[in-house]
Amino acid sequence: MTETQTLKLIAAYDRARNEYSIIVHNQTPKEAQSYLDQWSRHLRPECSFIVLDQTMQHRTEDETKCRACRETILRSAHIEPPPKFTRRKP
Protein backbone atom coordinates (compact mmCIF):
# COMPACT_ATOMS: atom_id res chain seq x y z
CA MET A 1 0.00 0.00 0.00
CA THR A 2 2.57 2.54 1.04
CA GLU A 3 4.38 2.26 -2.27
CA THR A 4 1.44 3.67 -4.19
CA GLN A 5 1.02 6.62 -1.83
CA THR A 6 2.70 9.92 -2.41
CA LEU A 7 5.30 10.48 0.25
CA LYS A 8 5.54 13.87 1.89
CA LEU A 9 8.26 15.92 3.40
CA ILE A 10 7.76 18.60 6.02
CA ALA A 11 9.95 21.65 6.37
CA ALA A 12 9.70 24.57 8.75
CA TYR A 13 10.05 27.99 7.19
CA ASP A 14 11.08 31.04 9.19
CA ARG A 15 9.77 34.21 7.53
CA ALA A 16 11.81 36.52 9.73
CA ARG A 17 15.12 34.96 8.72
CA ASN A 18 14.10 33.51 5.34
CA GLU A 19 15.48 30.19 6.49
CA TYR A 20 14.09 26.70 6.40
CA SER A 21 14.94 23.41 8.01
CA ILE A 22 13.87 19.92 7.09
CA ILE A 23 11.77 18.30 9.78
CA VAL A 24 10.85 14.90 8.40
CA HIS A 25 10.64 13.14 5.06
CA ASN A 26 9.26 9.87 3.65
CA GLN A 27 5.98 10.44 5.48
CA THR A 28 2.69 9.00 4.33
CA PRO A 29 -0.04 11.64 3.99
CA LYS A 30 -1.53 10.34 7.24
CA GLU A 31 1.76 10.56 9.13
CA ALA A 32 2.38 14.03 7.77
CA GLN A 33 -1.06 15.17 8.87
CA SER A 34 -0.68 13.80 12.37
CA TYR A 35 2.68 15.51 12.64
CA LEU A 36 1.10 18.82 11.67
CA ASP A 37 -1.78 18.30 14.07
CA GLN A 38 0.65 17.66 16.87
CA TRP A 39 3.24 20.35 16.23
CA SER A 40 1.63 23.30 14.46
CA ARG A 41 0.64 25.05 17.67
CA HIS A 42 4.18 24.75 19.05
CA LEU A 43 5.74 26.71 16.22
CA ARG A 44 6.98 30.23 16.73
CA PRO A 45 4.64 32.79 15.15
CA GLU A 46 7.10 33.70 12.39
CA CYS A 47 7.45 30.06 11.37
CA SER A 48 5.20 27.87 9.33
CA PHE A 49 5.28 24.32 8.10
CA ILE A 50 5.65 23.58 4.42
CA VAL A 51 4.40 20.21 3.23
CA LEU A 52 5.54 19.03 -0.17
CA ASP A 53 4.99 15.90 -2.23
CA GLN A 54 8.08 13.86 -2.90
CA THR A 55 8.55 12.49 -6.38
CA MET A 56 10.22 9.40 -4.94
CA GLN A 57 11.32 7.88 -1.67
CA HIS A 58 14.41 9.57 -0.29
CA ARG A 59 17.24 7.22 0.54
CA THR A 60 19.06 9.38 3.07
CA GLU A 61 18.10 8.27 6.54
CA ASP A 62 18.93 11.54 8.27
CA GLU A 63 16.59 14.13 6.79
CA THR A 64 18.77 17.03 7.90
CA LYS A 65 21.39 15.73 5.48
CA CYS A 66 18.97 14.91 2.71
CA ARG A 67 19.87 16.58 -0.55
CA ALA A 68 16.64 15.50 -2.27
CA CYS A 69 14.63 17.38 0.36
CA ARG A 70 16.57 20.56 -0.22
CA GLU A 71 16.15 20.29 -3.98
CA THR A 72 12.43 19.72 -3.58
CA ILE A 73 12.08 22.81 -1.40
CA LEU A 74 13.94 25.02 -3.81
CA ARG A 75 11.99 23.67 -6.77
CA SER A 76 8.52 23.49 -5.28
CA ALA A 77 8.13 25.85 -2.36
CA HIS A 78 7.99 28.98 -4.55
CA ILE A 79 9.58 31.23 -1.98
CA GLU A 80 11.34 34.33 -3.29
CA PRO A 81 14.12 35.04 -2.63
CA PRO A 82 15.13 31.40 -2.14
CA PRO A 83 15.41 30.67 1.57
CA LYS A 84 18.63 29.55 3.22
CA PHE A 85 18.91 26.06 4.56
CA THR A 86 19.62 25.69 8.27
CA ARG A 87 19.93 22.64 10.47
CA ARG A 88 18.36 24.46 13.39
CA LYS A 89 14.90 23.19 14.13
CA PRO A 90 12.19 25.63 15.18
Closest separation in Å from C-beta 4 to Zn ion: 19
Of 32 and 69, CB closest to Zn ion: 69
Task: Tell me if 9 sits within 8 A of 60, measured CB to CB.
Answer: no
Closest separation in Å from C-beta 39 to Zn ion: 18
CA atoms of 1 and 19, how far apart (whole Å)? 35
**Which range, of 11-19, 30-38, 41-49, 69-77, touches Zn ion by CB under 5 A?**
69-77
Sheet of 8-14, strand order: 47-53, 8-14, 19-27, 84-85
Contacts of Zn ion in 9-68 (CB under 5 A): 25, 58, 66, 68
Of 47 and 68, CB closest to Zn ion: 68
Closest separation in Å from C-beta 45 to Zn ion: 27
Encoded amino acid at 10, one letter: I
Residue 12, beta-bridge partner list: 21, 49
CA atoms of 31 and 90, how far apart (whole Å)? 19
Residues of the shown chain interacting with Zn ion in the complex, contacts defined by CB under 5 A: 25, 58, 66, 68-69
